[in-house]
Amino acid sequence: MSRLELVIRQEFRILSADRTIWIVCAILLALIGYSLQSGMTRISRQEAVAAEMLDKQAKADAPLMAQLKRIQAGEERPKPFANPADPSNMGSSLGVRTAYMPAAPLAPAAVGQSDLFPDQFKVTYRSKVYFIYDTAIENPWNLLSGNIDLAFVIIYLFPLMIFALNYNLLSAEREQGTLRMLMSQPLNLAALLAGKIAVRASALLGLAVLVPAATLSAARPVLFETLAWWSALVLAYGAFWFACVVFVNAFGKSSAVNAVALIGSWVVLVLIVPVVLNVAVSLAAPVPSRTEMAARTRVITTEVLNRYAHELRVDYQYVAKPEVLVPKDGKIEVPSRMRAFYHMQRDVDAEIQPTIDRFELQLAKQNALARALGILSPAAVAYEGMTALAGTGGRRYAHFMDQVETFHQAWKAFFIPKIDAGTAITAADFDLMPDYTWTEEDAPVVRRHAVQGVLQVLVPAVILIGIGAWRLRRFSAV
């Protein structure tokens, strides 16, 4: 039996007799349980809403098609603004499609940005500037307060549990006078410390990794790789705080000093640095002004109103001649005002794009900067990494917006030629209309960011352990 093994066995015996470890593990377990339970409830509600929407969408076309057939057969008088034969109506709210982002398998683990950004958009011919800035419905106060999700438990509270069990690893032995006795044995300090930590780390890290992994993979179709990266991130983050414990203990101060030093480092790294970093990043790469954007939208709207004034001025014909609502020989009279609306929205989209691009560029810069500066706070890195893996981070939302954009373009491209040519919608068109399908993020991108995150947390951990090991050699047992 090696010395290390001996220490581990001994520590295990001592610890199991001590109440502290049981209390800490019970608290950790309760917090993980609570956060997972509320995460699962949140996601199952979100998925129920999405399923209902998909179901409704799947059934929406059939009655329209039937109505179209009745209109073509002359059995029904079309409504002026809800006429399935009219491409300007179908491209608008009548044929509306919902673009959505499904909840990722690990979504219950981190709320991330999901309470701020919507996961569904109704896409019509309307310019995207009128719908992409919608937000999810939530009390701003709650957004400000945050959530108790698994990511919060790991990032904020897990380090404190590590401290509770480890702040006095060597100092307590010395304060009780037992360290001297131990050191008189053929045992070096590093082995003693490693043994003590091994027992505590396997209890805490084991709970923090295995319980969520087992629960989530039982409840959801979790991908092994995503779960492995999540677990690696939790382990790396835990390892960082254990490294802090080694570092602090190696200085040989009293238990009280150790405790204060550890809490101090937590306050700085978890509470202060991320908050200051957020301000620093937003000052270094400021986003342009939204007020200016609103003003720009307005100017463009005024211009397009003038541009299409001649089309807007023409009255609806159907009031005098209701027969214009009925398609004839594959053609239909698209009201001049409706055509104008399409042209206006198309032009607004094209002309506001440079302004939108400037926002996206700055935000991308902020994100790159935040990732680079993450090394200053393992908490910030772990948070970004966890939300990314849970599919609730900024990157996946940006990916979603790209798909919304592509779909929006395809939707307009389908309808505008028909509106210009006055081509009536036929039953066959229902199959040709663009459909929105969600594509998941590229696996290599996810992997690269996950590796980067894990390394950004591990490197400082290794450095701390290195310094700690060096200090330990000068440690006095007395």
Output the smallest distance, CB 158 to other proteins, in A.
12
- Nearer CB in complex with other proteins: 284/413: 284
Q: Which stretch binds other proteins (CB under 8 A): 67-75, 76-84, 188-196, 232-240?
A: 76-84
Q: Which stretch binds other proteins (CB under 8 A): 204-212, 242-250, 270-278, 423-431?
A: 270-278
Q: Give the C-alpha separation, 22 to 164, whole Å.
A: 12
What residues contact 312, with CB distance under 8 A and at least 6 apart? 305, 336, 337, 340
- Alpha helices (H) along 374-442: 378-390, 394-421, 429-432
Identify residues 400-439 at the interface with other proteins (CB under 8 A). none
In sequence order, the β-bridge partners of residue 97 are 123
- Nearer CB in complex with other proteins: 140/444: 140
Q: Give the C-alpha separation, 112 to 384, whole Å.
A: 9
- Nearer CB in complex with other proteins: 217/297: 297
Output the smallest distance, CB 80 to other proteins, in A.
6
Q: Give the C-alpha separation, 111 to 390, whole Å.
A: 8
Q: Give the C-alpha separation, 12 to 195, whole Å.
A: 9
- Is residue 37 a contact residue for other proteins (CB under 8 A)? no
Q: Which two tokens stand for residue 399?
A: 């990916």
- Is residue 287 a contact residue for other proteins (CB under 8 A)? yes
Q: Give the C-alpha separation, 41 to 308, whole Å.
A: 50
Q: Which two tokens stand for residue 96?
A: 């509306």
Cβ atoms within 10 Å, residue 81: 15
Quick one: which of 16, 178, 185, 278 contacts other proteins (CB under 8 A)?
278
String of contacts with other proteins for each residue 288-327, x by CB under 8 A: -xxxxxxx-xxx-xx--xx--x--xxxxx-xxx-x--x--
Identify residues 365-394 at the interface with other proteins (CB under 8 A). 366-367, 370, 379-380, 383-384, 387, 393-394
In sequence order, the β-bridge partners of residue 319 are none
Cβ atoms within 10 Å, residue 19: 7
If DSSP codes are grouped into helix, strand and coil, which group holds residue 332? coil
- Nearer CB in complex with other proteins: 136/433: 136
Q: Give the C-alpha separation, 149 to 124, whole Å.
A: 35
- Is residue 470 a contact residue for other proteins (CB under 8 A)? no
Instruction: List the one residue out of 180, 193, 195 whose CA is nearest residue 2.
Output: 195
Output the smallest distance, CB 187 to other proteins, in A.
28
Output the smallest distance, CB 147 to other proteins, in A.
6
- Nearer CB in complex with other proteins: 10/98: 98
String of contacts with other proteins for each residue 154-183, x by CB under 8 A: --xx--x-----------------------
Q: Give the C-alpha separation, 94 to 125, whole Å.
A: 11
Output the smallest distance, CB 261 to other proteins, in A.
13
Quick one: which of 277, 338, 404, 446 contacts other proteins (CB under 8 A)?
277
Output the smallest distance, CB 255 to other proteins, in A.
7
Going by their DSSP bridges, the two strands 97-100 and 120-123 should be labelled as antiparallel
CA atoms within 13 A on the CB side of 7: 23
- How many positions of this chain bind other proteins (CB under 8 A)? 91
Identify residues 108-147 at the interface with other proteins (CB under 8 A). 112-113, 116-118, 120, 133-147
Q: Give the C-alpha separation, 408 to 406, whole Å.
A: 5
Output the smallest distance, CB 383 to other proteins, in A.
6
Output the smallest distance, CB 58 to other proteins, in A.
16
Q: Give the C-alpha separation, 365 to 370, whole Å.
A: 8
Identify residue 265 by its one-letter amino acid code.
Answer: S
Identify residues 78-97 at the interface with other proteins (CB under 8 A). 79-81
Q: Which stretch binds other proteins (CB under 8 A): 214-222, 273-281, 345-353, 470-478?
A: 273-281
